[in-house]
Amino acid sequence: MTAARDAVFDRLAEHRRATEGVTLRELFAKDPARFETFSVAQDDLLYDFSKTHVTAETLSLLVKLATACGLESRREEMFSGAKINTTEDRAVLHTALRAPEGSKILVDGVDVMPEVLAERAKAAAFAEDVRSGELRGATGKTFTDIVNIGIGGSDLGPAMAAIALSPYAQKGLTGHFVSNVDGAHIADTLKDLDPASTLVLVASKTFTTLETMANARAARAWLVEALGEKAVAAHFAAISTNAEAVSAFGMDTDRMFQFWDWVGGRYSLWSVIGLSFEILIGAENFQKFLDGGHEIDRHFREEPIARNIPALMGLIGVWHRNICGWPSHAVLPYDQRLARFPAYLQQLDMESNGKSVTRDGQPVSTRTGPVVWGEPGTNGQHAFYQLLHQGSDVVPADILMAAVPHENVGDQHAMLLANALAQGEAFMRGRTTEEAAEILRKAGKSDAEIAALAPHKTFPGSRPTATIAYRTLDPRTLGRLIALYEHKVFTQGVIWGINSFDQWGVELGKELASRLIPVIKGEAGTNDLDGSTKGLVEHLARLRGG
């Protein structure tokens, strides 16, 4: 398989060498129908990749690459519950979490769907009871504030989705998301809350994560101080795969919502990890979110690769990363409520594909996941777009936009869309030195001034972007967007031959932090530490008055 893949990589590299000088402007000039050829719709959602350098030949080679790597068979393995996360001996079935009633998905010969549906119903009933006031705090007050304590996949998803779908949130209910072990996070969150009307959800797949357990203890102490030990059961719920750890922590497993080891943390928003956000938007909207994800599962599973949006996103990303050699990828939502979407995608993409060994433990022979980053437009325009337009590195980007806003504030949505489109156009067209000189000439500048200024006002252009445009950011569309990126990441993992579903790279830091806690507290010595760490510990100790 690697040999077949590398042969296609070689052909792609050769194709790149032959076409490298061709600009995006030239591609559009040569083929005015590029937009029709190089865009794919899934209902109202359009993926336009015409502003990348992909041509019919590139596309055909990328499809060959997918075939050479067995994308279709690996995709089927995932959907059918095979244990493709080999280092943890686990199936990868976040797709089951959004599968409709009547689906049958086997893990070790057992259909997981009855449990999935039962837990989905239990979470929906709980969410509705909190929303209606049926379920109340220990003193009889209805809940007004939902505090989700989690980190990584147990935080980023619900926190991102709560912002994205805030127009659907019930009035009088506020979501709070505490993740950082920095005590400032929990302290700032709790300081203005009334314990009597606060519901705390402790979300952790393992229920052993240092940050989450520390914050959960702090929240518990805060509640107990105000309402007494007896109030804990009414104000806390646990979300985990680990019932034993939940009871060891002193929490009632009756108030536990469960998911399964075949759900990766960064793929868990679809499970009961989404409970905080489900309480905010309601069970009906949460179901629409799941349905949106499932629509993309069907699209990914059924569409031919050349018309398959997540597969194309993945393959074009491989083209940018491996063949063009561009090391990062920006996500630029022109949709303020997707403000945390780039951060969410950082975990999804970088924790999945930031790997250097193949599935069988051999060093990879290609570059793997890019650095993923981004901020909403138009804010990014006034911050880092300078580099995107004129910096010495090319940064391929996704530009996301909704046709219809939730609120019509004057003509601001037209302004937003105009900016989004203008940026895509500017990245594509650029501005030649001659064009810059002409503008300066028309502005009455002298020849000397033109010569001095024109290079600074030149834009290289030919910087690729893909645009994802959809009707409106509703629950279904958020589900579709997330699932698109999940399958993009999957596609790339298959091409690179890596396991996208483990995350061993986060362990070393955790181990060293556990060893350093007693050192910082002065309960263990510094002798075993390297010179720098020892020096820093001692410097901090002096500043702390130790």
Ligand X SMILES: O=P(O)(O)OC[C@H]1O[C@](O)(CO)[C@@H](O)[C@@H]1O
Report CA Rg, the chain: 25
Cα-based distances in Å from 349 to 88, 298, 340, 426, 502? 19, 21, 14, 27, 12
Nearer to ligand X, 212 or 287 (CB): 212
Decide: 39 and 48 in contact? Cβ < 8 Å: yes
Q: Supply the minimum distance, in Å, between the C-beta of residue 219 and ligand X.
A: 15
Which of 39/215 has CB closer to ligand X?
Answer: 215
DSSP for residue 89: T
CB nearer to ligand X: give 158 or 370: 158
In the complex, minimum distance from the CB of residue 465 to ligand X, in angstroms, rounded to a whole number: 29
Residue 94 within binding range of ligand X, rule CB under 6 A: no
Q: Which residue blocks in 99-252 are alpha helix, DSSP H?
A: 113-132, 156-164, 183-190, 210-227, 232-235, 243-248
Provide, rounded to whole angstroms, the least separation between the CB of residue 273 and ligand X. Answer: 8
* Residue span binding ligand X (CB under 6 A) among the ranges 7-15, 203-211, 300-308, 313-321: 203-211
Residues within window 67-86 making contact with ligand X, judged by CB under 6 A: none
Q: What are phi and psi of 50, to 5 degrees?
A: -70, -20
Residue 209 binding ligand X, by CB under 6 A = yes
Catalytic residues: 351, 382, 510
- Interacting residue with ligand X among 265, 370, 424, 493 (CB under 6 A): 265
Q: Which amino acid, one-letter code, is at 402?
A: A
Indicate which single residue of 85, 204, 215, 276 sits in contact with ligand X (rule: CB under 6 A): 204
Give the shortest CB-141-to-ligand X separation in angstroms: 29
| Least separation in angstroms between CB 146 and ligand X | 18
Query: With CB under 6 A as the contact rule, which of the stretches 202-210, 357-365, 431-439, 518-526 interacts with ligand X?
Result: 202-210
- Residue 464 engages ligand X in binding (rule: CB under 6 A): no
CB of 81 or CB of 153, closer to ligand X: 153
Give the pairing of strands 39-42 and 45-48.
antiparallel
Verify binding: residue 212, ligand X, rule CB under 6 A.
yes
499 contributes a contact to ligand X by CB under 6 A:
no
Contact indicator for 196, 141 with CB cutoff of 8 Å = yes
**Window 336 to 365, contacts with ligand X (CB under 6 A):** 351
Q: How many residues bind ligand X (CB under 6 A)?
A: 14
Distance from chain centroid for Cα 457:
35
Instruction: Examine residue 39 and tell whether it contacts ligand X (CB under 6 A).
Output: no
Least distance in angstroms from the C-beta of 267 to ligand X = 9
CB of residue 68 to ligand X, shortest distance in Å? 30
The whole-angstrom separation of Cα 218 and Cα 149 is: 11
Structure tokens given for 201: 């959800």
Strands 45-48 and 256-258: unpaired
Q: How far is the CB of 176 from ligand X (least distance, A)?
A: 17
3-state helix, strand, coil in the chain (%, to 5): 55, 10, 30
Would strands 328-334 and 371-373 be described as parallel, antiparallel, or unpaired? parallel
Identified binder of ligand X from the candidate list 205, 220, 294, 429, rule CB under 6 A? 205
**Distance, CA of 538 to CA of 107 (rounded, Å):** 52
81, 137, 152, 274: residue in contact with ligand X (rule CB under 6 A):
152
3-state secondary structure 381-416: HHCCHHHHHHCCCCCCEEEEEECCCCCCCCCHHHHH
Nearest residue to ligand X, scored by beta-carbon proximity: 265
Per-residue interface string for the shown chain with ligand X, residues 501-520, x marking contact by CB under 6 A: --x--x--------------
Sites for ligand X among residues 154-193 (CB under 6 A): 154
State the nearest-atom distance from the C-beta of 471 to ligand X, in Å.
31
Under rule CB under 6 A, residue 153 binds ligand X: yes
Nearer to ligand X, 204 or 308 (CB): 204
206 binds ligand X (CB under 6 A): yes
| Sole window of 50-58, 152-160, 493-501, 520-528 interacting with ligand X (rule: CB under 6 A) | 152-160
Q: Which is nearer to ligand X, 209 or 308 (CB)?
A: 209
State whether the Cα torsion 404-286-377-423 is positive or negative: negative
Cα–Cα distance measured from residue 179 to residue 188, given in angstroms and rounded to the nearest whole number: 12
- State yes or no: residue 465 binds ligand X (CB under 6 A): no
Q: Supply 338's token pair.
A: 């997707």
CA angle 450, 452, 456 (to 5 degrees): 95
Helix 71-79 vs helix 56-68: crossing angle, to nearest 10:
60
Residue 27 or 202 with smaller CB distance to ligand X: 202
Contact 150, 272 (CB under 8 A): no
Q: By CB under 6 A, tell whether 370 contacts ligand X.
A: no
Binding site for ligand X (CB under 6 A): 151-154, 204-206, 209, 212, 265-266, 351, 503, 506
